[in-house]
Chain A
Amino acid sequence: MAKRAEKKKTEPALGEIAAPEWERILREMVLVRKFEEASEKAFRKGKIGGYLHVYSGQEAVVAGITSALRKDDIVYAGYRDHAHALLLGSDPKDVMAELYGKASGVSKGKGGSMHLFDVDRGLYGGYGIVGGHLPLAAGTAYSLRYSGTDRVCVCFFGDGAMNIGSFHEALNMAGLWGKRGMCPVIFVIENNGYAMGTSVDRHSAVTDLSARVEAYAIPSEKVDGQDTFAMRGVADRVISQVRMTGRPYCIEAITYRFSGHGAADLFQPYRSKEEVEESRHRDPILILSKRLREMTGLTDEDLQEMSDWADEEVAEAVRFAEEAEEPDPKELFEDVIALEPGREPDGDVSSPLHWGPRDEGGGEEDEEDEEAEDAEDVEAAASSEQAGDEEGEEE
């Protein structure tokens, strides 16, 4: 259970992040780009099955947010989820192995490109039903608060997800629970302008997407999703605010995907070559490199070194995935349900958050008291926010 000392931890604000960290973020974005290029190549060779949706062009959105998160925060993604796994620290070898359907993949080869899970790194999954994961994120946020922690949940989704019923149900419930300081969730709209092949103005009656969110009493703001500095700046401010208040917030990142919707979307009749070409000038990796040249003195040699490093990492991931074992046939029937028919449930839930039954170990009453105190803290945070008295929260 988180203690107050942890809650006071502050992330560096925009411009205050040390040079090595910015360079680390850039390095990871380069890795994501190279990984996606390699995965497309492998898909074309028939090594990767099903669908493959790559994140090229949108790297700043996830990089800006995840770099501002704590290790114990939780992230949900849609089906375009490779970047989320990589930027949360999943091993590229295991992610590539998952795309190849191998036993060592992050989801044991049973999820594939659209269902990357790495619970130890906070990734609670990529989901293939557009917008279906939004309620899960709201529920998880409730759970984080209920258990007395100040952890937050981030839910990434595309502009197209805003038209499914689950979006509205999740945001309404998050808005309601937020009024009680019980829903520390950050909804991040990865607005790349297209729901598959349908542009925003053809799928949304109101095209100001962050305005639509405000209908549910959830504050929101737009940010340039190609600018990692801007993304990280918003993330630092919003995450610490949500962590403190337990209230939801929405960030609309205006971004662009360079590749098609999926690897099979070759002709892209819904957008012009000129538009795609034009968007290349807003490449988040170029923008961040340029900023770092000015700010930290990043050199061509540094960039070359990053590129070479990423090439080698990705080549290693591909080699690993190629050579990795396929799942054992007996895996087919594993992980369907936990229950063993006819047996009494053991009640031990493997989730890392589970705080166990009351009778576990000694000091039962102390534990309860602590929980009660934490619950009071949460309520105090929510009410002091309501009163606009944020000083009081800092103790």
Chain B
Amino acid sequence: MAEKSYRDAVRDAIFEEMERDDSVVIMGEDIGVYEGTFRITAGMLDKFGENRVIDTPIAEAGIVGTAIGMAMTGMRPIVEMMTFNFALVAADQILNHAAKIRYFSGGQLDIPMVIRGPHGAGVGLSAQHSQSFEAFFGHFPGLVVVAPSTPADAKGLLKSAIRGKDPVIFLENAALYAIKGEVPDDSDFTVPIGTSTIARKGADVTIVASGKMVHLSLAAAKTLEEEDGIDCEVVDIRAIRPLDVAPVIESVRKTHRAVVVQEQWKPFGFAAEIASSIMDEAFDELDAPVIRVTGADVPMPYARNLELLAVPHEPDVIQAVRDVAYANGV
């Protein structure tokens, strides 16, 4: 095991898979000569050449569409979205083509491709560059959606995504690139997609989160233990679709209380899906209504103070856990 940044974990996954399999290529805007806006593809053009590290024009629909055509005929393209916000420009290709071809061809074709890149808010980029996409892509059957929170999961899940047969939306929260963690050295280390994991064991309240929100949930859990003696269990939903809610249900059977944390807007979101799943499968276990901690229901403002108000923070999670545990004297 070695201590690695999330950024290096992502890069290593791509690099190792490209070394392993000639059918894996990477394509996107400024990923070659420029070496990637977030430096994920540094050194790849030199190593693999321009036929495998494909610098593209600014043409998201064209990039995703051509990648689909490659994937349908034996290649395994990885598309880098400079930011996932630009994936909206390619929405037709992702949602109407990649997600549906397997189905309406009656299973004649696999679409083994990964669309990956940074998403999320909180770094002063205003409304067009600060969106979170778990719920958006998670809504569409035919896609696989992954949102890892740790460097190890980033590497293991990305390798699984590259080796799989499906179109995978791989969401890297931009704020996580610099975090560090232990990552197995084994170049065949993979994490199966479609599994949630317990990020922290606890007995009193279940906190459910994904991606960057896992980290503020863990920080909140630490504070709650120290200040209130509330022992929180944190479930990390590291793949949004297919969604593994079993660990959440199991946890709720133990704690009888749940808080769900998401960076996105509240309506029709990830947290609503989790809360509803808990109700479907463990309604009788609940001692309190599930509480959602979410971003503010507005396009992201630029001003620092407003931006801070628009996304969830540790105190928001602490407050929600106290509420759901009736620790505020209600």
Contacts and interface: CB of A to CB of B under 8 A. Distances in A.
A172 B60 CA distance: 12
Interface size for chain B: under 10, 10 to 19, 20 to 34, or 35 or more residues? 35 or more
Interface in B61-95: 61-77, 92-93
Interface residues of A, number: 66
B197 to A, nearest CB: 11
Secondary structure type dominating chain B contacts: loop
A146 B71 CA distance: 12
Contacts of B62: 135, 138, 166, 169-170, 172-173
Contact of B70 (A132, A142, A337, A357): A142
Interface in A132-187: 132-144, 146-147, 153, 165-166, 169-170, 172-173, 176, 180, 182
Given A125-B101, A334-B107, A342-B192, A170 B166 contact: no
A74 B244 CA distance: 38
Contact of A341 (B97, B163, B242): B242
Given A111-B106, A351-B110, A345 B70 contact: no
A78 interface: no
A205 interface: no
A109 B106 contact: yes
Given A115-B104, A351-B109, A139 B74 contact: no
Secondary structure type dominating chain A contacts: loop
Contact of B61 (A74, A140, A153, A165): A165
B89 to A, nearest CB: 8
B61 A119 contact: no
Interface in A99-125: 105-112, 115, 117-119, 124-125
B66 A142 contact: yes
Contact of A338 (B61, B73, B110): B110
Contacts of A357: 20-21
B104 A169 contact: no
A173 B79 CA distance: 15
B56 interface: yes
Contacts of B73: 74, 124, 140, 143-144, 147, 351, 353
A136 B110 contact: no
Contact of B93 (A119, A135, A144): A135
A196 to B, nearest CB: 18
B180 interface: no
B51 A182 contact: yes
Contacts of A166: 61-62, 65, 92-93
Nearest to A371: B22
Contact of A108 (B71, B107, B194): B107
Interface of A: 74, 105-112, 115, 117-119, 124-125, 127, 129, 132-144, 146-147, 153, 165-166, 169-170, 172-173, 176, 180, 182, 334-345, 347, 349-355, 357-358, 371, 375
9 contacts: A107-B104, A115-B104, A135-B68, A138-B65, A139-B67, A140-B70, A166-B61, A341-B244, A375-B51
